[in-house]
Structure 1
Amino acid sequence: MRFATVSAGGEQLYGAVVEGGFVALSPDFQHWPTLKSVIEAGALDQLEAAAQGRAVTHTEFTYDIPMPDVVRILCVGVNFPDRNAEYKDGSVQPKYMSLFPRFSSGFTGHEQNLVRPPENHTLDYEGEVVVVIGKPGRRIKAEDAYDHIAALTLCNEGTIRDWVRHAKFNVTQGKNWDKSGAIGPWLVPFRDATQLDDARIITRVNGEVRQDDTLNRMMFPIREEIAYISTFMTLQPGDMIVTGTPTGAGARFDPPRYLKPGDVVEIEVNGIGTLRNGVEDEA
């Protein structure tokens, strides 16, 4: 089952994406106003049961990010062996993972355009899997980490490359331009380890494969990400962890191949779906 947040007829709704369109479920669950509140209640299974056999309610709608009210988005940087080598600084695999925050204002939904700002044109793509926490926890053991995942989605962790170099230890400003990235199209409930352990990320720009790798090659596997992050903060239902991108981002070509208006970026992961976005200049 695929659960999305959409805009239709002047209102924002959540529900199930099915063959032929969208089934609005939020009117029947007004005590849970958003998918984030459904996650917090541990109620994705109730949504799934409610969607069974329901007729399509909307065939025309636009996708929003699945949880527009997400509060905490943590991103893991440089998490594939070849990504570390891309930096050409002679460093070995780091002992600890790199982390940085992103905010919901920096993302748009599936089939919406990424926005390139006038201040800088080094807009880049990064295809990644996102895990959504469903069960709170502090100092979670790696072997128990998957028990804390409620759902999966995809991210284009779009970056203004020049702006991640504005400070010695800080990438926040290059990672949070309005609508520079995308999350979606939907949430897929997490059932078992194979959804992550066997997952393959493919990123295409205008149909050309730019990134292609498997999650089992991560330097810091998702189990370790959850364990490490929960050491210093209590993970809460609705938290998102953007887990890392493979080699092949535009900045690493010679010359760099940054995104420009009219480009189409597709991020595909088996078992989750395809996140697709165009690119436009900020009006």
Structure 2
Amino acid sequence: MKLLRYGPVGRERPGLIDADGRIRDLSDYLADFAGASLGPASLARLSNLDPADLPLVEGQPRLGPCVGHVGKLICIGLNYSDHAAETGASVPSEPIVFLKATSAIVGPNDDLELPRGSTKTDWEVELGVVIGTPAKYVSEEDALDHVAGYCVVHDVSERAFQLERQGQWTKGKSCDTFGPIGPWLVTADEIADPQDLDLWLEVNGERRQTGSTRTMIFGVARLVSYLSQIMTLHPGDILSTGTPPGVGLGMTPPTFLQPGDVVRLGVEGLGVQCQTVIQG
């Protein structure tokens, strides 16, 4: 299933995409895609519905983040060896983990706002992993059983805030609008292998990033298991798994986003995002 949330900011409603690519409303069956509603029993109940029996949503409403009330947005840094090389970093021996503030989360096509004082705002297309059942001390073999589905995440980064102002990466990762999520949550049963998905990103129609989850240093199962040894992963938590090469920081000369730029990005089978850059 392709599950989504649509409507004005703060008043999103749950829906799904039917076979013809149209939005069908799910409000009679659940209040939101958040927490326990992402568990196996809830998703199984939705999978038994006939989309043709659900109300059709007319027009082209705004799409919100595909998961509501996210508890944790956990990000992995330098998880592609070729991306580590372009930034001048060494390949990590174990996952680099940081948190992005959940207040950064926005819809997949909402404007991307440059924070005041920004000089180096960069792009990063990533595979997002949505947790469906609690995971604590889980093995790598069992890790994917705790995944509800997958989505596109844009891990926007202000490099000067991140790298030049001391402290943790969080300050360069958590600005408002720096976490577009969606357009859909694609349930895990539709993704045969999360380690075989193509990723791409364009700025103003020019391809900047092209990659595949095949080249991840630490795969999804490894990351879910690893993180579960450190913290309990709860339903609705999202793991953003790192970006392939082609970020602005790695260009010669380094190139960053400017007001008016349009960024399009996608992950195979998970849909496409499109953001216009504005000045905050």
* TM value normalised by structure 2: 0.92
SS of residue paired to 1:129:
strand
Which has the higher mean CA deviation after the structures are superposed, 74-83 or 258-267? 258-267
Q: 2:239 aligns with which of 238, 241, 244?
A: 241
Partners of 1:9 and 1:132 in 2: CA distance: 21
**What's the offset of the Cα at 1:76?**
0.4
**What's the offset of the Cα at 1:14?**
0.9
Residues 9 and 205 (structure 1), Cα distance of their counterparts in 2 relative to 1, 3 Å cut: closer
SS of residue paired to 2:229:
helix
Q: 1:264 aligns with which of 245, 256, 262?
A: 262
Q: 1:203 aligns with which of 195, 201, 220?
A: 201
Identity between Structure 1 and Structure 2 (%): 30
Partners of 2:72 and 2:266 in 1: CA distance: 24
Q: Which residue in the other structure is 2:216 paired with?
A: 218
Q: 2:249 aligns with which of 243, 248, 251?
A: 251
Residues 98 and 154 (structure 1), Cα distance of their counterparts in 2 relative to 1, 3 Å cut: same
Which structure 1 segments of 5+ residues have no match?
none
Partners of 2:70 and 2:9 in 1: CA distance: 23
Q: Which residue in the other structure is 1:122 paired with?
A: 120
Contact 1:79 1:220 in 2 (8 A): yes
Cα deviation 1:59-85 (Å, max 9, x = unaligned): 231111112311111000000011121
Partners of 2:88 and 2:187 in 1: CA distance: 38
Partners of 2:278 and 2:17 in 1: CA distance: 26
Q: Which residue in the other structure is 2:83 paired with?
A: 83
**What's the offset of the Cα at 1:57?**
2.6
Partners of 2:216 and 2:254 in 1: CA distance: 24
Which structure 2 segments of 5+ residues have no match?
none
* TM value normalised by structure 1: 0.91
CA RMSD of aligned residues (A): 2.0
Q: Which residue in the other structure is 2:24 paired with?
A: 23
**What's the offset of the Cα at 1:33?**
2.4
**What's the offset of the Cα at 1:155?**
0.7
Contact 1:107 1:178 in 2 (8 A): yes
Q: Which residue in the other structure is 2:275 paired with?
A: 277
SS of residue paired to 1:146:
helix
Cα deviation 1:82-109 (Å, max 9, x = unaligned): 11212325x3x22111111112211221
Structure 2: which amino acid aligns with 1:36? A
**What's the offset of the Cα at 1:193?**
6.0
Contact 1:25 1:50 in 2 (8 A): no
Q: Which residue in the other structure is 1:64 paired with?
A: 64
Partners of 1:103 and 1:42 in 2: CA distance: 29
Contact 1:195 1:271 in 2 (8 A): no
SS of residue paired to 2:277:
strand
Partners of 1:151 and 1:244 in 2: CA distance: 17
SS of residue paired to 1:256:
coil
Q: Which residue in the other structure is 2:157 paired with?
A: 159
Partners of 1:20 and 1:134 in 2: CA distance: 24
Contact 2:201 2:210 in 1 (8 A): yes
Matched length:
277
Contact 1:110 1:184 in 2 (8 A): yes
SS of residue paired to 2:177:
coil
Residues 106 and 51 (structure 1), Cα distance of their counterparts in 2 relative to 1, 3 Å cut: farther
Structure 2: which amino acid aligns with 1:46? R
Structure 1: which amino acid aligns with 2:73? I
Contact 1:124 1:161 in 2 (8 A): yes
Residues 11 and 255 (structure 1), Cα distance of their counterparts in 2 relative to 1, 3 Å cut: same
Residues 96 and 61 (structure 1), Cα distance of their counterparts in 2 relative to 1, 3 Å cut: same
Residues 108 and 8 (structure 1), Cα distance of their counterparts in 2 relative to 1, 3 Å cut: closer
Structure 2: which amino acid aligns with 1:12? E
Residues 9 and 281 (structure 1), Cα distance of their counterparts in 2 relative to 1, 3 Å cut: closer
Partners of 2:141 and 2:239 in 1: CA distance: 17
Partners of 2:145 and 2:184 in 1: CA distance: 20
Q: Which residue in the other structure is 2:46 paired with?
A: 47
Residues 98 and 10 (structure 1), Cα distance of their counterparts in 2 relative to 1, 3 Å cut: closer
